[in-house]
Structure 1
Amino acid sequence: MGVRATGIGSLPGEDFLGAVRVVLEDLPDLPHLPELPDRGATAGMVGRAVAVVGELGLDLQPAGWRLTDAPGVDHRRARSLLAQDLDVLEEQSQGFDGTLKVQVAGPWTLAATVEKPRGDKVLSDHGARRELAQALAEGVGRHLADVARRVPAATVVLQVDEPALPAVLGGRVPTASGFGRHRTVHPPEASEALGWVVAAAGERLVAVHCCDPAVPVGLLRSAGAGAVSLDVTALPVAAYDDLAGVLDDGATLLLGVVASTGTTVPTTRSVVERTQRLLDMLGFEAPEVADQLVLTPTCGLAGATPAYARGVMRTLREAARELG
């Protein structure tokens, strides 16, 4: 199998058909279901997760997504858009028999983003955040089954996006007033809720992505994640022991080695050398852990120009093949 390359999820623009074609062409070893936030709130990371959530109703308010008694018009639009996108993916991936990645926002990023019916974040209410996490897990199970039905020869893997998790653990999520901070969520509770979503994937590989320098690698692994996705360009050296532990355990590392925005795409050689230097610091040679490595951008590419985004994907693919 060797080293592979993939994207984190988001891409620039509004042309979903074109995005699917680009991903299948430029990242053939591990394509992903694109997210195009430029199409609006129903198409971004949180909007995608809202479309997946089962049993709960949500609607889009001026301050963002909010829990409601029944699905609002924007919730229904998010679900409809996801179904349309999956139709496009099914049509364009005919005969694809490799590994396909889909993404969903994690329970703690949702809890730190979605509001309760009367305002303030779900994060402020223990029962509400538990209910939201369980509804997300239920919806993820159905979503993965739907993707597997549409692309039957593919091996479907899941990426859970948790950019807000370090802020949740550190008590850094602001309250609605902006003058206070929500209480810290302790690691056992955080691991439990994340574990429900991971478990919903069944036997499928689950990667948890967090581009914060304080990514809690140990917690992600304790929640059952078989892979960890992070921005290695921002990691402190103290975190390298955790990365080495992931490889020692036989798990997978998705290494964010190329900036998600910029004006000049780095060369393949520079990406290869950066990855080799990191592995050397971790105490590994690329050939011995090649099957456990995936190269990615540091985060989503929605903020990049189309030319830069495509250049990054091609460079990552070439670097992965050279390393592998």
Structure 2
Amino acid sequence: MSEKSTSSWGAGAATGVGSMPGTDAREAAKTVTGSLEALPYLPELPARGPGADMIGRTAGMLVEVFAHVEPSGWRISDRPGRDTKRARSWLGEDLDALEEFTQGYEGALKVSAVGPWTLAAALELRGGEAALGDAGACRDLAASLAEGLRAHLADVRRRVPGARVVLQLDEPSLPAVLRGQVRTASGYRTYRAVDRAVVEGALRDLVTAARGATDEPVVVHSCAPGVPFALLRRAGVTGVSFDFSLLTEREDDAIGEAVEAGTTLFTGVVPGTDGPLSDPAGSVMGVRTLWRRLGLSPGILAESVVVTPSCGLAGASPAYARAALAHCVRAAKSLADNPE
């Protein structure tokens, strides 16, 4: 394993993806910090409405770029309005709750924001088309996001001084951006596929900006099929978070190369909505099978894998969300205790 594989969270870690059910920031923070000792995270509560969703929350972080809600979604504005202010207020409320339940905490702490390509696919320009169709708008968004994330990460470090902050960039639209599958406003056409080198370069620049002088970890999450593991590895991310059930053997080579280069796999193996949970060892059986198929050393399995739900838990009941996080912890422990 490369030096980059030395994680901030240790072997046999588990975490969540980001969203949680309900509208109570303190209850969500209490659940997350109480369930996850090695890698807790800042919850998102989209049930509160626009501004608490992942696009709205990230739009509120942007510097000198503002957005408001239209019937079709989030649209770029000339000045900060009610929707921007609400997004910032809810983020502040979430951070206050996290700070309350992480007093004295030392270790890895994950926060999330939407990545530049999903943001460009979701944010509309004034005419109603996505920023994705305008190369200049994409560059401006990425630059604004980088500045906003610097400020956000600095705020988290100030509030939780013992934390090593892990940034997760949510990129569910990334595969569609690369394939030219993002639909225009009319729905009859799609935007042209963005060149892979341009996508990779923007992600690399953002990863570098977010790390700054601290070299803190950056993870990219995408719960869509066709996660571009090789591109993300080249962009310099620390880890890739994905829905394990969507993997195909076509991705084996890229995954094997990523692991050998020290990239951590955040494997979404626990369902994100209510349902029966298998025994913890059964939940990670597919991960063990993948490891054997790739011919990777069992000795690096628990270091190279973090166990997560398949996607966010916003659609789950509060009881199931708690059970799912606890299940992830037990499944990760089974990998560490018995890597063979």
TM-score by length of 1: 0.97
d(CA) in 2 for partners of 1:261, 1:289: 27
Partner of 1:147: 156
Select the residue among 87, 101, 111 that pairs with 2:110.
101
Superimposed CA distance per residue, residues 251-303 of structure 1 (whole angstroms, 9 cap, x where no aligned partner): 21111111212321222121132322222222234432322210011111111
Partner of 1:179: 188
Q: Aligned pair in 2 of structure 1 residues 127, 272: CA closer, same or farther (>3 Å)?
A: closer
Contact persistence 1:265–1:308 (CA under 8 A): no
Select the residue among 284, 293, 305 that pairs with 1:293.
305
Partner of 2:19: 10
State yes or no: 1:167 paired with 2:176.
yes
Partner of 1:91: 100
Deviation at 1:113, TM superposition (A): 0.5
d(CA) in 1 for partners of 2:134, 2:285: 47
Partner of 1:126: 135
SS of residue paired to 1:50: helix
SS of residue paired to 1:295: strand
Contact persistence 2:233–2:263 (CA under 8 A): no
Select the residue among 321, 331, 334 that pairs with 1:309.
321
Contact persistence 2:43–2:94 (CA under 8 A): no
d(CA) in 2 for partners of 1:163, 1:272: 23
1:100 aligned partner, one-letter code: L
Superimposed CA distance per residue, residues 166-215 of structure 1 (whole angstroms, 9 cap, x where no aligned partner): 11111111111111111110101111222232112221100101112211
Alignment of 1:109-120 (within 5 A): 109-120=118-129
Contact persistence 1:52–1:79 (CA under 8 A): yes
Alignment of 1:139-288 (within 5 A): 139-202=148-211, 203-288=215-300
Aligned-residue CA RMSD (Å): 1.2
Q: Aligned pair in 2 of structure 1 residues 57, 272: CA closer, same or farther (>3 Å)?
A: closer
Q: Stretches of 4+ moved more than 6 A in 1?
A: none
Superimposed CA distance per residue, residues 43-98 of structure 1 (whole angstroms, 9 cap, x where no aligned partner): 11111111211111211111111111111210111112111211111111101101
| Alignment coverage as a number of residue pairs | 324
Partner of 2:89: 80
d(CA) in 2 for partners of 1:56, 1:99: 30
d(CA) in 2 for partners of 1:99, 1:292: 16
Contact persistence 1:140–1:197 (CA under 8 A): no
Partner of 1:43: 52
Q: Aligned pair in 2 of structure 1 residues 272, 128: CA closer, same or farther (>3 Å)?
A: closer
State yes or no: 1:322 paired with 2:322.
no
2:82 aligned partner, one-letter code: V
Q: Percent identity?
A: 47
Contact persistence 2:45–2:53 (CA under 8 A): yes
SS of residue paired to 1:276: helix
d(CA) in 1 for partners of 2:161, 2:261: 30
Q: Aligned pair in 2 of structure 1 residues 146, 84: CA closer, same or farther (>3 Å)?
A: same
1:293 aligned partner, one-letter code: V
1:179 aligned partner, one-letter code: Y
SS of residue paired to 1:233: helix
d(CA) in 2 for partners of 1:80, 1:262: 30
2:208 aligned partner, one-letter code: A
Partner of 2:7: none
Partner of 2:42: 33
SS of residue paired to 1:156: strand
SS of residue paired to 2:182: coil
